[in-house]
Amino acid sequence: MNDRRVLLVMLTLGTALTLVPSLLFAQTMYVSRDEVKLTEEKSPTSKIVETLRRGAQVRVIEKSDRHFKVQAPSGKTGWVFKFTLSDQQVGGGSGGNLLSAVTGDTRIAAREAGTGGSIRGLKETSERYATTKRVDQASKDAVQRMEDRVIPREELLKFQREGSVGEFSGETP
Amino acid sequence: MNGTMKRIMKRTWMVTFVSLALVSGTVDQSWGILDQLLSPPAEKKPSQSKGQPQPSEQKGLVDGIGGLLGAKEKDIGLIKKGLKAAQALQPIGLEEEIAIGQAVAIEAFARFGGEYKDEALTTYVNLVGRTVAEVSDRPELTYRFAILNSREQNAFAAPGGYIFVTIGLLKTLKNEAELAGVLAHEVAHVTQKHMLKTLQRSAILANVSEFSLSAMNKDPKLFSNVIDAATDMLFEKGLDKEMEFEADTVGIEYTYRAGYHPNGLRDYLATLKAQEGTADSRFFSTHPSTGERLRRATDTAIRYTGASKYPYLTERFRSRMGPA
């Protein structure tokens, strides 16, 4: 009787262990930034299947060193650079926490809404601070230049491709 | 086959069948729910359109439930006031973070020799910094990198993604992986919100019920006090040493994610350690012992197996830096 129980437990455990990888591959992840390429092969230079937007929910099908094979919301499958994925939901959330729902105050949620990229130029508060503290104009101008500097996406990708870094890491330049 | 074996086989098939049914039919859904339950709360990213009522005008659940229970407006107000006090514990929001970052950035230029005016080199630092920042845990933030015209070796990060490195430090580096390591350490301070957390725990904000842009505009003295505390922390006293160790560990991870050799930061710390006592750097007074940092960074970097395939990019760094 005891032997049969042991055998049954072992068989059950064996079945469960066989199924664990399937469970793990059912993982849901979210695209953490815009313009993420879903490609046919594990390489950003291979054919682009689709471009994913920030916040898109994907299902992980297969994992490798620096790339995940995923299924996009459209149903298409392909490979993405795994560090463009997050296990936390990003963007497009309904916002607000329990406390804000109770008080009707949505400011906290709203304050977290914007992205850094959408906020440009010196803020009135910072400007006034600099004036009050009599900080020289050159320092204010320098911060303004930091705000104004734009690195085009193409330039960044070219730089990364030439150095085999970023999403091109592991590729021969 | 005897009866006992038949029963065992039957039970085994039942277990297998039930498991397979669970996996194929319901696991996707239940796993998704489990994912959500186990994951930390999602970041809130709603948009606030102009046409929507302002927060002060909006009616919340307290208004509704209070009204239904027949509570007086005054009582509802008291309840809401109490709840709002509890909300003071909420983290500092993005707009406020950027306002603090800008003011600290202005102070950084004013105190560290101003801007190092080399457009090509600044673009290069931004390209390396962006490569690291976009694989960080806050990739949605726009990070801005600048070079300070100071011979002393230093680098620091202001909230909101304003990151600085002195020309003195840049000239000490040997390759792009080291630059990526240094910048990644600073990006980690921003992603882990080290300064914001320290400010929130400080006496300056202890009795502040609301730290919003509008509140700061009404009370410039409060904003000024916050910036004084931030600059004092960043330029003079340094952050908590555990935060520095965390920024090293997280920064090494970002360097690896970005595809650089994860030894970058470690190698720079080794250079700094060799210069201890002779180099002109506030790093020694604002950061924990370089020896301890080097030991920990070495332990962290060594865990990245297969790191040898990732580049240092020495030649590209030298060509961008120009003659020493």
Note the pLDDT of residue B323: 78
The amino acid occupying position B200 is Q
The whole-number pLDDT of residue B296 equals: 96
Contact by Cβ (8 Å): A80, A37: yes
User: Which residues have CB under 8 Å from B34's CB, separation 6+?
Assistant: none
Residue length, chain B? 324
d(CA A71, CA A62): 10
A interface test, pick of B96, B102, B167, B257 with most A CB neighbours within 10 Å? B102
Question: Mean pLDDT over all residues of chain A?
Answer: 79
Residue A90 touches chain B, beta carbons under 8 Å: yes
Query: Searching chain B, which residue's CA lies closest to the CA of residue A135?
Result: B110
Q: How many CA atoms lie within 13 A of A46 on its CB side?
A: 14
Domains of chain A, residue spans: 25-88, 90-119, 120-168
Mean pLDDT of B204-223: 79
B132 close to B152: Cβ distance less than 8 angstroms: no
- Could you tell me if A35 lies within 8 Å of chain B, comparing CB atoms? no
Q: How far is the alpha carbon of A156 from chain B, nearest alpha carbon, in Å?
A: 6
A168 vs B61: CA distance, rounded Å: 50
pLDDT tens per residue across span A106-132: 332 233 333 344 456 788 888 889 988
User: Which chain B residues have a beta carbon less than 8 Å from that of A158?
Assistant: none
pLDDT computed for residue A23 by the predictor: 53
Cβ contact (<8 Å) for A112 and B258? no
The per-residue pLDDT for B52 is: 34
According to CATH, what is the number of the domain A25-88? 2.30.30.40
Report whether B180 contacts B260 (CB < 8 A). Answer: yes
Phi, psi of B150 (to 5 degrees): -130, 140
- Which tens digit of pLDDT belongs to each residue from A84-113? 999 988 874 333 333 333 333 333 223 333
Out of A54, A109, A142, the one facing B140 most closely (by C-beta) is A54
Query: Taking CB atoms and an 8 Å limit, are B46 and A135 in contact across chains?
Result: no
The per-residue pLDDT for range A12-45, each reduced to its tens digit, is: 777 666 655 555 556 999 999 988 999 999 999 9
Question: In the structure, what pLDDT confidence band is assigned to residue B8 with cuts at 50, 70 and 90?
Answer: low
- Is residue A103 within 8 angstroms of chain B, CB to CB? yes
Q: How much is the pLDDT for B275?
A: 87
CB contact under 8 A, A125 and B83: no
| Number of CB atoms found within 10 A of residue B323's CB | 4
Better-predicted residue by pLDDT, B281 or A158: A158
ipTM greater than 0.90, yes or no?
Answer: no
Residues B288-301, mean pLDDT to the nearest whole number: 93
**What pLDDT is attached to residue A171?**
73
Confidence grade of residue A11 (pLDDT, cut at 50, 70, 90): confident
A35 CA: distance to closest CA in chain B (Å): 12
* Distance spanning both ends of chain B, measured CA to CA: 84
Percentage of residues of chain A with pLDDT beyond 70: 73
pLDDT band of B47, cuts 50, 70, 90:
very low
A125, B220: Cβ pair inside 8 Å?
Answer: yes
- Extract the runs of DSSP E, i.e. beta strands, from chain A: 28-31, 36-39, 48-52, 57-63, 67-71, 77-81, 85-86
Q: Please give the average per-residue pLDDT across B115-142, as a whole number.
A: 97
For chain A, the maximum distance between any two Cα atoms, rounded to a whole number of angstroms, is: 88
Sequence-ordered list of residues with C-beta below 8 angstroms from that of A6, at least 6 positions apart, any chain: none
Phi/psi of residue A29, nearest 5 degrees = -135, 170
Are A26 and B28 in contact (CB < 8 Å)?
A: yes
CA A49 to CA A35: how far, in whole Å?
12
Q: What is the mean pLDDT of residues B232-259?
A: 95
